Structure 1
Amino acid sequence: MLAKSSVRVVAARASLARGRAAAVAAPSIARLSDGRARRVSAAQFHTSGALYVPETVKVPQMAESITEGTLKQWSKKVGDHVAQDEEVATIETDKIDVSVNAPTSGTIVELLAQEEDTVTVGADLFKLEPGDAPKGAPEGGAESGGAQPKEEKEQEKKADEKKESKQEETKPEPKKEESKPEPKKEDSKPAPAPAPKAKESKSEAKESSAKPAASAPGSREETRVKMNRMRLRIAERLKESQNAAASLTTFNEIDMSALMALRSKHKDEILKKHGVKLGFMSAFARASCLALKEIPMANASIEGGDTIVYREYVDLSVAVATPKGLVTPVVRNAEGMGFVRIEQEIAELGKKARDGKLTLEDMAGGTFTISNGGVFGSLFGTPIINLPQAAVLGMHAIKDKPVVVDGKVEVRPIMVVALTYDHRLLDGREAVTFLVRVKEYIEDPAKMLLAV
């Protein structure tokens, strides 16, 4: 009995399997948009041989010190097809803007965060369905198996409904237009009647317009904008510098005649040969590097509260103004560079800063800072130390002033320079000596070439 029952079970299972196979292989009927029917096989509902599972792309690792950022902008939207390494989103951090690129080519199927949201490293950002762009599909769109025809049908129904509603609305309009000319002829006689009312309305308008004119206030509009992460970080660091460093500023005046003559003599040749403009920043950078050799404390920093770190190299931080705030990219090993090389490095870093393409490596470190407020017209100023550095040199605008030269009064181009230093590291004698050395090098550029 058991053997017979088992044989029946096996036979039943086999017939059921054959039925399923026949059902799969059997053609089904699909309706076209015009109402006609045609037979299609189940395999025709898939345009590809494999179905891809969407991949979840996460917020990338940005730097050791950065754990979160603000999702500033989506460059793509749901349904867009992206190529490998194509930018999908931009995340703003307190130091740089980070681009999130597609790990592979595919179609974006879901965005998991909105613009201005705070996103953390490793969090889910968007879903991407791997695959090449479908042939014949519109740019930014994608086909997804058999779901697309249903969406198209729904869109067609909505479009037809809109057309019908528009036609119904437009039908009664011609009747109103045809009935308009008849009352115009009948009402042509009493038309001048409202003339006295117009006069009354004019007098009333004068009275009403006179009242608000007397009490109309000026514009009192207010606009509130959330601070971006870079500005918040700048504010935090500057306040930290004020609270931690014993800041003190010393000033001096520099006669720029010799340096301006040197620049005007060689700037065209340097521009033609090296493709870079010769400015004053390179001269001050070179003069600062030489002065730092004599006053190494100005190139040092405090570590751990009780340790001084002296450096044999100069990583020069150069302040650059950008739309988002002031940044300080670093010229590495500036002590071994000449005027032209320094100008090239500063020009390259400045361009990257304005284009928003600075990396963390471009701004990390820095042992001494130069800030040139003179390009904006500043005459005096006390720059703030960029911790953990010990000092910052501030350049200002060049103005003609009467000065005494060899017992005679002459008009010379004068720049006021300021050195803000951390009094915990530098005494007044060292800070003043540093600034005097910079003054001597700038007023006699040959000394920089001779390293006197």
Structure 2
Amino acid sequence: MAFFADLAAADTIVKVPQMAESITEGTLKQFSKQVGDYVERDEEIATIETDKIDVSVNAPESGTIKELLVNEEDTVTVGQDLVKLELGGAPGPKEETATEKPKEPADVEKRPPAESNKPQPSEPPKAPSPPPEQPPTPKPQPPAPKSETPSDVKPSFEGREERRVKMNRMRLRIAERLKQSQNTAASLTTFNEVDMSSLMEFRKLYKDDVLKKTGVKLGFMSAFSRACVLAMKDVPAVNASIEGPNGGDTIVYRDYVDISVAVATEKGLVTPVVRNAEAMDLVGIEKAIADLGKKARDNKLTIEDMAGGTFTISNGGVFGSLMGTPIINLPQTAVLGLHAIKDRPAVVNGKVEIRPMMYLALTYDHRLLDGREAVTFLVKVKEYIEDPRRMLLG
């Protein structure tokens, strides 16, 4: 019995968990619990920010936090000691205090009735009016200035002050990767425009039925993803990559398509991956994109969600972008940029009509893709979008 008692009172050290093969360190962003707090098994006690995702550190056993072994914003490595946890115990005292509190109000309620029997003496207590004056004590409104800190990030243009904010790990990694892409790939962008009339009509006809039967909201991303998959059958190099020393000496062709979908988050752009898009229909792709988008916004993406990817689609149109040149997500070979749908005059059967048009931009690595192949691919995508029924036959 004593042996188990000792175990119950024993301490254990919570360490930085394994995060992924490519991640060895991160920044401890915050402790969810503090010294003296009781935690249940698997309850989150800290969050570590990496260059890809935020990693939760959970308690291995139930117990009370005895000591925090690092500070917030410290760089921590896999296996490093984070928290000293005293095993055993229970949050019993907290429950007792909770029960004691209701007892106190009960006593207070008993006192008022006694005072109510003496309505006249209740008037003299008006002297305690100073207590109401105590509200000014909330002068510790220094917390208010803390709430102003967010405004510090936005320029007020009322003076010549400067603010310096340290980049988070994700932003640093994004900067590093973008510069690497710029320095490595022979990037070139080709443009085209697509008439969205048929796809918009197609979506209008079937979106309600699809939503009713599958619970999926049919959008445009699934159509462009499917169009790209089909176009890759004619231009497989778009889905390939270069490997090897000295900038690469081997081309890797793939019989599968993993589409990276760019999603904007508060911390930066992330590119979760839709696996085996070649085996999915429009509804399957749309559901996968919606699920990944929700996980990204909820900050619940895993390393597995973002690993790999053979081709990227970036939709700047949701932010109103008219046209842009996306940058390649190495080691991929190409990225398709979608833009805003705008009503523009277009020639249809010899007549000028107003049509909903979108500019498409394909940035590709000229080391692997020739201009003819890139243009052919983009034209194929355009043809599928302008006649979406063809995608159902592909």
Could you tell me the TM-score, scaled by structure 2's length?
0.81
CA deviation after TM superposition for structure 1 residue 234, in Å? 0.5
Instruction: Find the residue that maps to 2:392 and give its secondary structure.
Output: helix
Describe how 1:110-189 pairs up with structure 2 within 5 A. 110-133=67-90, 135-137=92-94
Asked if structure 2 preserves the Cα contact closer than 8 Å seen for 1:80 and 1:139, the reply is no
Matched, 1:234 2:171: no
Q: Report the counterpart of residue 324 of structure 1 in structure 2.
A: 267
In the TM superposition, structure 1's runs of 4+ consecutive aligned residues that sit over 4 Å from their partners are 137-140
Matched, 1:107 2:107: no
Q: Report the counterpart of residue 290 of structure 1 in structure 2.
A: 230
Matched, 1:94 2:34: no
Asked if structure 2 preserves the Cα contact closer than 8 Å seen for 1:56 and 1:125, the reply is yes
Instruction: Find the residue that maps to 2:257 and give its secondary structure.
Output: coil
Q: Report the counterpart of residue 272 of structure 1 in structure 2.
A: 212
- Tell me the distance in 1 between the aligned counterparts of 2:345 and 2:12: 72
Matched, 1:389 2:346: no
CA deviation after TM superposition for structure 1 residue 227, in Å? 0.5
CA deviation after TM superposition for structure 1 residue 400, in Å? 0.8
- Tell me the distance in 2 between the aligned counterparts of 1:354 and 1:368: 22
CA deviation after TM superposition for structure 1 residue 58, in Å? 1.1
Instruction: Find the residue that maps to 1:109 and give its secondary structure.
Output: strand
Q: Say which of 369, 379, 384 aligns to 1:426.
A: 369
Q: Say which of 251, 256, 278 aligns to 1:313.
A: 256
Instruction: Find the residue that maps to 1:378 and give its secondary structure.
Output: coil
Give the partner amino acid of 1:264: K
Instruction: Find the residue that maps to 2:173 and give its secondary structure.
Output: helix
Q: What root-mean-square deviation, in Å, do the aligned CA atoms of Structure 1 and Structure 2 show?
A: 1.6
Residues 146-183 of structure 1, C-alpha deviations (whole Å, 9 max, x = no match): xxxxxxxxxxxxxxxxxxxxxxxxxxxxxxxxxxxxxx
Cα 1:433–1:134 change in 2 (3 A) is closer
Q: Report the counterpart of residue 169 of structure 1 in structure 2.
A: none
Instruction: Find the residue that maps to 1:402 and give its secondary structure.
Output: strand
Q: Report the counterpart of residue 108 of structure 2 in structure 1.
A: none
Matched, 1:376 2:319: yes
Greater C-alpha Rg: 1
- Tell me the distance in 2 between the aligned counterparts of 1:135 and 1:393: 58
- Tell me the distance in 2 between the aligned counterparts of 1:49 and 1:83: 19
Q: Report the counterpart of residue 81 of structure 1 in structure 2.
A: 38
CA deviation after TM superposition for structure 1 residue 265, in Å? 1.1
CA deviation after TM superposition for structure 1 residue 267, in Å? 1.1
Residues 48-81 of structure 1, C-alpha deviations (whole Å, 9 max, x = no match): 9536231111111111111110000100000111
- Tell me the distance in 2 between the aligned counterparts of 1:354 and 1:327: 10
Give the partner amino acid of 1:117: D
Asked if structure 2 preserves the Cα contact closer than 8 Å seen for 1:282 and 1:339, the reply is yes
- Tell me the distance in 1 between the aligned counterparts of 2:89 and 2:210: 50
Cα 1:134–1:340 change in 2 (3 A) is closer
Cα 1:49–1:443 change in 2 (3 A) is closer
CA deviation after TM superposition for structure 1 residue 229, in Å? 0.3
Residues 259-309 of structure 1, C-alpha deviations (whole Å, 9 max, x = no match): 011111111121122112111111000000000111000000001110110
Cα 1:135–1:409 change in 2 (3 A) is closer
Q: Say which of 198, 211, 236 aligns to 1:258.
A: 198
Instruction: Find the residue that maps to 1:436 and give its secondary structure.
Output: helix
Q: Report the counterpart of residue 151 of structure 1 in structure 2.
A: none
- Tell me the distance in 1 between the aligned counterparts of 2:18 and 2:393: 48
Cα 1:66–1:255 change in 2 (3 A) is same
5+ long unaligned stretches in structure 2: 98-156
Q: Say which of 241, 252, 277 aligns to 1:301.
A: 241
Q: Say which of 350, 355, 358 aligns to 2:293.
A: 350
Describe how 1:21-60 pairs up with structure 2 within 5 A. 49-50=5-6, 52-60=9-17
Could you tell me the TM-score, scaled by structure 1's length?
0.71
- Tell me the distance in 2 between the aligned counterparts of 1:302 and 1:138: 62
Asked if structure 1 preserves the Cα contact closer than 8 Å seen for 2:38 and 2:91, the reply is no
- Tell me the distance in 1 between the aligned counterparts of 2:260 and 2:341: 22
Residues 116-174 of structure 1, C-alpha deviations (whole Å, 9 max, x = no match): 0101111110100110315335699xxxxxxxxxxxxxxxxxxxxxxxxxxxxxxxxxx
Larger RCO (CA within 8 A; separation ≥ 6): 2
Instruction: Find the residue that maps to 1:136 and give its secondary structure.
Output: helix
Instruction: Find the residue that maps to 2:204 and give its secondary structure.
Output: helix
Cα 1:219–1:413 change in 2 (3 A) is same
Q: Say which of 356, 359, 362 aligns to 1:416.
A: 359
Cα 1:410–1:244 change in 2 (3 A) is same
- Tell me the distance in 1 between the aligned counterparts of 2:72 and 2:336: 39
Asked if structure 2 preserves the Cα contact closer than 8 Å seen for 1:81 and 1:139, the reply is no
Residue identity (%) = 76
Asked if structure 2 preserves the Cα contact closer than 8 Å seen for 1:71 and 1:118, the reply is yes
Matched, 1:341 2:270: no
